[in-house]
Amino acid sequence: MKILVVYYSMYGHVLRLAEAVAAGVQSVPGAELVLRRVPDLPFNEAKVRESKHAQEVLSRQKDIPYCSLDDLRSADGVLFGTPTRFGNMCAQMKALFDQMVELWGQGAMEGKPAGLFVSTATSHGGQETTGYTMMVPLLHLGMLIVGVPYSTPGMLHTEGRGGTPYAATTVAGGRNDLLPAAEDLEIAKALGARVAAIAAKLRG
Ligand SMILES: Cc1cc2nc3c(=O)[nH]c(=O)nc-3n(C[C@H](O)[C@H](O)[C@H](O)COP(=O)(O)O)c2cc1C
């Protein structure tokens, strides 16, 4: 059973969530982790070149392959990770969604569980909106949306950190200088495990 974890990250926060999600996937017996990133787009390449922080994060990811349509087709469950861009997914991740028209036409993603993970700069910068606007294309593709139930440790809180029922989240800070809270990483891990466990049940 293959579980695909696919993400884009410029400053490393979504990458850290992806690592936690991946650990959760790997905690489920029979789950084979497929970790992929999506490539940058030309409009952003100069920004990455100009930022030491972004360069360092890019070099940490150099051995992670780009996601192909076959990775999506062969997955039994998928977790998609993105930084917020104006309360929505980033263009790099949207480009992957827009390449999925062939899979949509074939119904290739139908019935597969999908989870989401998201980073925002600020607490109220769009954690929830990014989660649920990403659900729209997932529903078009016929995927089964898997959220984070409130029984997950760390979900019931009032601190300035992540933890939404729509997506595993974290707060990166206005200068992308915060680290994900330990609780955010645990929630991301729990979501990875949940998607893998549900995929296993659906396969029977
Ligand atoms: C074009 C653009 C739009 C952004 N819009 C938002 C936003 O609406 N809300 C917010 O909290 N952060 C916003 N951010 C900040 C990013 O979400 C933040 O850098 C990201 O979550 C860090 O994740 P990463 O370290 O994985 O790249 C925006 C950043 C850019 C470049």
pLDDT tens for 86-139 read: 999 999 999 999 999 999 999 999 999 999 999 999 999 999 999 999 999 999
Ligand 1 pocket mutation, candidates 60, 117, 120, criterion most atoms within 8 A of CB: 120
Closest approach atom of ligand 1 to CA 54: 27
Please report, for the chain, the start and end positions of each structural domain, with discontinuous segments joined by +: 2-203
What phi and psi values does residue 41 have, to the nearest 5 degrees? -115, 155
Distance 103 CA to ligand 1 centre (A): 29
**pLDDT tens digits for 182-195?**
999 999 999 999 99
Per-residue pLDDT tens for 38-79? 999 999 999 999 999 999 999 999 999 999 999 999 999 999
Q: What is the predicted pLDDT for the residue at 157?
A: 95
- SS (HEC) of the chain: CEEEEEECCCCCHHHHHHHHHHHHHHCCCCCEEEEEECCCCHHHHHHHHHCHHHHHHHHHCCCCCECCHHHHHHCCEEEEEEECECCECCHHHHHHHHCCHHHHHHCCCCCCEEEEEEEECCCCCCHHHHHHHHHHHHHHCCCEECCCCCCCCCCCCCCCCCCCCCCEEEECCCCCCCCCCHHHHHHHHHHHHHHHHHHHHHHC
User: How confident is the model at residue 204, as a pLDDT?
Assistant: 81
| Atom from ligand 1 closest to the CA of residue 170 | 21
Going by pLDDT thresholds of 50, 70 and 90, the confidence category of residue 173 is very high
At residue 164, the pLDDT reads: 97
Return d(Cα 127, Cα 166) in angstroms, integer. Answer: 9
Residue of 188, 204, 196 lying closest to 78 (CA atoms): 196
pTM of the model: 0.98
Q: Does the beta carbon of 13 sit less than 6 angstroms from any atom of ligand 1? A: yes
CATH classification (class only), 2-203? alpha beta
The total of other beta-carbon atoms located within 10 Å of residue 114's CB is: 25
Give the pLDDT score at 119. 98
Query: At 120, which amino acid appears?
Result: T
Does 53 contact ligand 1 (Cβ within 6 A)? no
Q: What is the pLDDT of residue 57?
A: 98
